[in-house]
Structure 1
Amino acid sequence: MGNTLQATNELSNPKAPLNDFRNIPAVRSVSQFGYDEKIVKEVFDTLKKAGTSDITSTVLLEAIFNLEEKSKQTQENSNHTQTGIEESQSTIGPVIATQVNNEPASDPELELSVRSLEEENQNLKDQQTCKICLDEPIAIVFLPCGHLAACVTCAPALRRCPICRTFIKGTVKAIMC
């Protein structure tokens, strides 16, 4: 519980000392990749100021990658060299703001809901598709079992119901609305 309180205090105070800043898990994991702590802290602070609520190591790394790419493009265009920190200070704001604005809102409940609706839709389509050719809509009811499993084209070739294997004694064309 003490660690949670400490992490909360660090996040709420953007001017926390550099040593306290190292205790944030996302910062620690990005620092393990060899990035300068000052750049990581600056990117983290900029993300916080831009309104990003959940800053993970992935978000930090993407922001740093975008910053590095922007820095390389700036160097190629201007043909003069600046130090990495000076460059990061001049370009970090626009890069982070662009990243935050382009990032789609990710809501796990919404994604789950969409996925379940897509699955339900596919199941309904499968129920109304011919079980023989898998192309045409079902249209023939087999008698005496009453199964609805074949299209007009496939039904005449069947002697037994594909669902229950009883002999087909008659067929009725069903109109599906």
Structure 2
Amino acid sequence: MDNKKRNILITKEQIANKIADLGAEISKDYENKNLYVLALLRGSFIFAADLVRYLTIPVKIGFMTTSSYGHSEESSGYVNVVNDIPDNIEGLDVLIIDDIIDTGITMEFVIQHVKKLGARSVNCCVLLDKPERRKVSLVPDYCCFQIPDVFVVGYGLNYGDYYRNIPYIFNWE
């Protein structure tokens, strides 16, 4: 794929500006609350790290690993919990962070899982929203960018095990 031309959809600067704005919004919304950020690995690790740096409120951070894609460009429709939440989240205000929501199956699964563990409130935040692919009735509470139904890579999103380190979002032409 790398011999094809990269089509940059969202630049590094656009991402940084939007994350700064989102950090301010989340900080305001969660002021005087007990915020627990739950980053879904692996895809969200870059986005989550950048976003929490813009939070101006106390925050506890945890990670959960799920899998529904493997090395494919399409979701399998089944969510596998690889590593569960390491902390007791009962009574906390949980903000789930992921790189992208397309079908919504993974996010819906994680939201229900977090609710069962006794979270006081549960919201979700994504870098990218691909609403055309939605298979469940779910709209992210916080979102940086809405994109069309194209396969994207970079800024945490991978193709196979590669390209997560690219600082912008792209697809191939």
- TM-score for both structures, normalised by structure 1: 0.18
Between Structure 1 and Structure 2, the one with more helix by share is: 1
Instruction: Judging by fraction of residues, say which structure has more strand.
Output: 2
Q: Which one has more relative contact order, counting CA pairs under 8 Å at least 6 apart?
A: 2
